[in-house]
Amino acid sequence: MMGLLGNFAFINPMILWGLAALPAIWFLLRITPPAPKLIVLPTTRFLADLIPEKQTSSHTPWWILLLRLLIAALVIIALARPVYNPTEGLAGSGPLRIVIDNGWPSASVWDTEIRAALDLTAQAGRENHEVYILTTAPTQASGKPFAAGPLAAGQAEAIIKGLEPQAWPADYNESSALVTDPSEETFWFAHGIDEGKVAELTAALEKKGDVTYYAPPPEQLPLLLLKEDTIETGFQVSVTAPDKITPGRPVNVQALSSDGAVLDQKSITLDPGTLPVKIKFEIPETVRGDVGSFRIGGQSGAGGVVLLDESSKKKLVGLVGPSDDEDTKPFIDARYYLKRAVEPFAELFQGNVGEILKHSPAVIILPDIAAMPADDLNALETWVKNGGLLLRFAGPVMAKNQGEAFLVPVPLRLGGRSMDGSLTWEEPAKLTEFSSSSPFYGIEIHEDIAVRQQILAQPTADIDERTWAKLEDGTPLITAAPLDKGLLVMIHTTASPDWSDLPLSGAFVEILQRIVGISANPQVALEKSDGFLQPVWVLDGFGALKKPPATVAPVSAADFAKILPSPEHPPGLYGREGFQQSLNISDHIKNLKIAEPGIGVSVRGYGTDYERDLMPFLLYAALVLVLADWILITVLMSGFRAMTKFSSVALVLFFALPAHAQSVKDIEYADGFYLAFIKSGDPSLDTTSLKGLENLADTLHARTSIEPAGVAALDPEYDQLVFFPLIYWPISSAQPMLSDKAIKNMQNYLDHGGTILFDTRDRSYGAGTFSGTTNTNTLRLITSSLNIPPLEPLAEEHVLNRSFYLLNPGHGGGYDPGTIWVETAVSGRDGVSSVLIGSHDWASMWAAGERPGYGAAARVQDLEYRFGVNLVMYALTGNYKADQVHIPHILERLGQ
Amino acid sequence: MEKNKTKKDRIPASAGMALSLRRHAEDSAAHLASLMVEAEKAVVGILHGEHRQRKSGSGERFWQFREYHPGDRPQDIDWRQSGKTDRVFIRQKEWQTNQSAFFWCSRAKGMDFRSDDNLPTKADAAKIITLALGLLMTHSGEEIGMLGSTRKGRSEAALQAIAENLMDETIPGEALPGDKAPRHSALFLAGDFLSPPGDIQPVFKNLSAQSDSGFVIQILDPAEIELPYDGRVVFEEPSHDKQRELVNNVSSIRAEYRHRVAAHIAAVKKTCLDCEWHHVLHPTNRDIKNTLLEIWTTLSLHTQRAGTLPR
């Protein structure tokens, strides 16, 4: 069905036979004389029956002929639907399957994938194939990848446009399970990275038919950002990519604060042989705490983002002792072990108390110190009370101390407890697992760790609350207690292996790490927690931080290190203030492999196979030529003068762009004051309302300085209500139900100062009577979903009765008293009630027109208009006439 | 959404109509003023002082003293003059006829035609010529009026009345004058007279029987005389029936057309001569002064010869 002419092809080549008719058209146009000019001449009758000397008629000029032939040719070619860059036709007539990779690597190639998928869908539409859609990453809602079908091209297009990349890896197993539809050909729009077992999915797809796999070009392959260990001067990250990338690919990595401000930026180039590339960020100490994340510039998705948590922020830990290291004997001194344990994750500063306090540390460690000078003690105590965390280790010095122990979380029993040695019958005790309420929950303790000697705590009533770690027999080993805003933590054994094996274990490092981590917000650590980390922020597929949706579940602290990003646990920050842990893609995925879809799958690149439909271009060109022809003919026939009359029309047509009709109308409405009414769904009522409001507008013009520019009919669902200070709403039973959007609009309108006059039109609001007519019920239905303020009947002194005319309700003042309800006690809004409810059927009253003359009927009719004028004045000016200034005059006029 | 827009400066309908009328009247007045200016410019060359019959007659104005002859009326004796000398003198008044000039302008639809914006419409040319003649007459002391209306006079007011009549658009338009003419009248008919000669003849004959003399000023647009168009044209008659003629190639029929128009003009002229009236053809591209001069000269010649306005 397709003929190929180089890079063009025609979908309906048969129509091209119409071009053969062009010479015939030329001949016809040639012999048809042009349209005659029209001239008005009073002596026309002298022309009657004139026998011309020769019957020659003038011809159309040849270039007009050519123009028209060209137009005809263009239209014929356009109808033959030429297509640029045609793809081979889709084989067969069966449905086809589109597989879209939407795991975390797809963010950087997402546009390409979607564009290619949409082009394919358009082609499927043209060739009448049904489409099945399959994605590879599980969705948040169901945990399975999204699949849909069979779909028509239009529906498929809409669905594809609504897809988004996800922030977690794909699950090819689940996708394979969903390959159950009967489609034959598969087109897989992939990101080129192997996220698992690509071969399985391709095998499942190949069972059904041919598979075409689209991979991005090497310059578009996705990248991954990895976190490296923190260095002394700042941070380190590394960028890795699949090994098929183009050499010299430039990459921009930024360090961002938690607010999103860029703190530092580094550019590197990637080469296939030197992956991964490490990048050092040297951040000054003062700002180092602000760094929240690292990002690869450009749309790199969740894989290009590394979030930092407390563990990567180096805190300053002060170690009380001599400031130089000369006396520290390796492997013997407690300070040595503390240094070795703390240095990887925190800055350690050694010195005396005064020096340490100058540096504002997060934690101060006292290794086995029993006494200190009084000022140091006071300073330390003040520091703790202001929110510092003090960590104390026990030791022989403390054991021997006779005096009252200072700054300990629990009262201590003097003398140590030795479980080793000749005087005891006990075995060295082992630690129990940390309970879930302890901040150390999840730290594994090797079974060989034993404590041989410790300082005991006095068994008080609240000892359990203050215990963070226990020995097997329940003796507290690590205790903590708050002191004002700070925290005192004590480990009842030494920081050196003298009394226990704990400093030798990896658990020691983790314990210290946790303690340092708590130090940002010490009190929070004491709150009873259930050991679960709640999600605080999560990443979406494009790498942006957002609030976690309801489908994200908390992670238990113990399992945190092991979990992989998934729909229930997307990458992001989990935990609570002061103790957050970040989950990144790169925590578990360390390198990127190119996907090998296997033999039997044809691998293609994107962007080489777009079909482009040329029909619209050709038709547009034909339209331009038609306009040119018309201009030429007008100029020829009536001269340039006539063009000026039509030129404005021509220009408008020529530049006919899809007008934003909405915004043009909005500008009109914003320009003047328009009276408005809500369309009620009943055309005759709408006409009446329109007429009535128009008459009211005329009255306002004639009598007041208000000059309404017109009347607008509104639909609360689609129209902008904000331009109308007063809206008249005639209630009828034909009123269509308000959709949510309409209700939202109305509520917004009322909240922001609009006034609506509801009119049930059936005069059912008599004084005191309230009959449940259909219209009142409809009104109730409408207002049930709106926030209507409390209403009261219109009082005689209400400013509505005197805002322009002095009305005397009940004395023939235009409406019966008690039949209009207004808002009680309006605050703000200039005293204008946002809702007025009445039943007087004002629209018909106003639509009846002014009655001429001075009779009683004319007066009654006039009072209707007076009320209308008052209403509009009130809506526009508010409580202006209620000011005290006017009261004496008003009273005078009322004859009181 | 629909919207029904009332005009921004909406006025009640009656006031609106009054406003449009007034605007129209102002436009007409301005137009009239411009026509008057044209007319005055045109007569400036012709008018030099009062134009009097240098003959004695029974008019109102004093002309000369004459010696008393037996047979003159004793009431005419001017005693003052006679007292100065010892002869008896009669006060002689100027000769005056009781003839008045009546004007008529064609109001046919075709009169509003002009082929070029630089030319006046035929109606305007007719009005200017009429007004100019009126001016000249008034300066000469002649009595003027509008054919069809009974008012006539010698003063500026009469001229004003004629001007207003010309501007009045409510008077129905006729291509030929009616059949009533006052006695002792000199008619000045301005129009294009494109009606068939068979229609024109009886009207002229009728009018000439009732009136003393007549002057026909036939005003035509040069395009009507020469047909300067080209190509394929459909011509439309501006009258009510809007008759149309399609001409495939105007150049081919131009000569014949000109011949026909010239024949028609000759027929009209012949009809005038038969009624002992005068005829002048005024193409609108000709300076009105020239036509006026021609008319006035013809008038003066006849006055001198016959002692009355041309008969």
- A711 and B8 in contact by Cβ < 8 A? no
Residue A831 φ/ψ region, left for φ over 0, alpha for ψ in the -120 to 50 degree band, beta for the rest: left
Reply yes or no on whether the pLDDT at B9 is more than 70. no
Q: CB neighbours (10 Å) of residue A324? A: 9
Reply yes or no on whether the pLDDT at B50 is more than 50. no
- A43 and B194 in contact by Cβ < 8 A? yes
Q: DSSP secondary structure string, A70-125?
A: HHHHHHHHHHT-EEESPPPPPSSSS-EEEEE--SGGGGGGHHHHHHHHHHHHHHHH
- B236 and A44 in contact by Cβ < 8 A? yes
H-assigned helices in A163-315: 172-177, 198-206, 285-288
Q: How much is the pLDDT for B151?
A: 76
Residue B87 lies in a domain: no
Write down the mean pLDDT value for chain B: 78
Three-state DSSP class for residue B76: helix
Reply yes or no on whether the pLDDT at B7 is more than 50. no
Closest Cβ opposite residue B248 in set A35, A57, A719 = A57
Beta bridge partners of A132: A97
- B6 and A708 in contact by Cβ < 8 A? yes
Residue B12 lies in a domain: no
Closest Cβ opposite residue B4 in set A698, A711, A719 = A711
Containing structural domain, residue B153: 31-52+97-306
Query: From the candidates A31, A32, A45, A671, which should be mutated to test the interface with B, based on the most B CB atoms within 10 A?
Result: A45
Residue range A342-362, pLDDT digits in tens = 887 788 888 888 888 887 788
Reply yes or no on whether the pLDDT at B219 is more than 90. yes
Q: How far is the alpha carbon of A718 from chain B, nearest alpha carbon, in Å?
A: 9
Q: Is the ipTM of this complex over 0.85?
A: no
Q: Per DSSP, which regions of A339-442 are E strands? A: 346-351, 363-367, 389-393, 412-418, 429-430
Q: Are B222 and B283 in contact (CB under 8 A)?
A: yes
- B247 and A709 in contact by Cβ < 8 A? no
Residue B80 lies in a domain: no
- A694 and B243 in contact by Cβ < 8 A? no
Residue range A602-645, pLDDT digits in tens = 787 786 555 667 778 888 888 888 888 888 777 766 655 555 66
Alpha carbon distances (Å) from B141 to A158, B60, B61, B102: 95, 11, 10, 14
Residue B64 lies in a domain: no
Distance in angstroms (rounded) separating the CA atoms of residues A661 and A658: 8
Task: Using an 8 Å CB-CB cutoff, list chain A residues near B247.
Answer: 36, 47, 50, 52
Reply yes or no on whether the pLDDT at A669 is more than 80. yes
Q: Which two tokens stand for residue A155?
A: 């529906």
Distance in angstroms (rounded) separating the CA atoms of residues B293 and B42: 9
Residue B68 lies in a domain: no
- B192 and A51 in contact by Cβ < 8 A? no
Question: What is the phi/psi pair of residue A726, to 5°?
Answer: -130, 130
Residue B84 lies in a domain: no
Position A294: which residue type? F
A725 CB-near residues (< 8 Å, 6+ apart) = A673, A753, A754, A755, A875, A876
Q: Which two tokens stand for residue B121?
A: 């419409």
Residue B232 lies in a domain: yes
Residue B153 lies in a domain: yes
- b/e for B183-217, b at 16 or more Cβ within 10 A? eebbbbbbbbbbbeeeebbebbebbbeebbbbbbb
Give A 649-678 residues with CB within 8 A of chain B.
665, 674
Distance in angstroms (rounded) separating the CA atoms of residues A572 and A375: 45
Q: Which two tokens stand for residue A186?
A: 């598969």
Q: DSSP secondary structure string, A38-79?
A: EEE-TTGGGGTTPPPSS-------HHHHHHHHHHHHHHHHHH
| Contact B242/A at CB under 8 A | no
Q: In the predicted model, what is the mean pLDDT of residues A391-414? A: 80
Task: Using an 8 Å CB-CB cutoff, list chain B residues near A55.
Answer: 248-249, 252
Distance in angstroms (rounded) separating the CA atoms of residues A207 and A565: 30
Is the pTM higher than 0.80? The answer reads no
Question: Tokens 């029309």 identify what position?
Answer: A649
What number of C-beta contacts closer than 8 Å exist between A and B? 134
Distance in angstroms (rounded) separating the CA atoms of residues B291 and B190: 12
Position A119: which residue type? D
Distance in angstroms (rounded) separating the CA atoms of residues A484 and A407: 12
DSSP state of A503: G
Q: How far is the alpha carbon of B299 from chain A, nearest alpha carbon, in Å?
A: 30
CATH number of the domain enclosing B163: 3.40.50
Q: How much is the pLDDT for A768?
A: 46
| Contact A644/B at CB under 8 A | no
Going by DSSP bridges, is the β-strand pair A145-151/B89-93 parallel, antiparallel, or unpaired?
unpaired
Report which secondary-structure segment, H or E, holds B207: helix B197-210
Task: Using an 8 Å CB-CB cutoff, list chain B residues near A714.
Answer: 1
A49 CB-near residues (< 8 Å, 6+ apart) = none
What share of chain A in percent tops pLDDT 90?
7
Q: At what angle do helices B13-44 and B288-306 cross, to 10 degrees?
A: 60
Closest Cβ opposite residue A57 in set B223, B236, B249 = B249
pLDDT higher at A236 or A231 = A236
- A43 and B261 in contact by Cβ < 8 A? yes
Distance in angstroms (rounded) separating the CA atoms of residues A395 and A754: 76
Reply yes or no on whether the pLDDT at A663 is more than 80. no
Domain count, chain B: 1
DSSP state of A805: S
Going by DSSP bridges, is the β-strand pair A612-613/A82-84 parallel, antiparallel, or unpaired?
antiparallel
pLDDT band of A767, cuts 50, 70, 90: very low
| Contact B248/A at CB under 8 A | yes
- A52 and B247 in contact by Cβ < 8 A? yes
Q: Per DSSP, which regions of A387-434 are E strands? A: 389-393, 412-418, 429-430
Report which secondary-structure segment, H or E, holds A160: helix A153-162
Three-state DSSP class for residue A588: coil
| Contact B224/A at CB under 8 A | yes
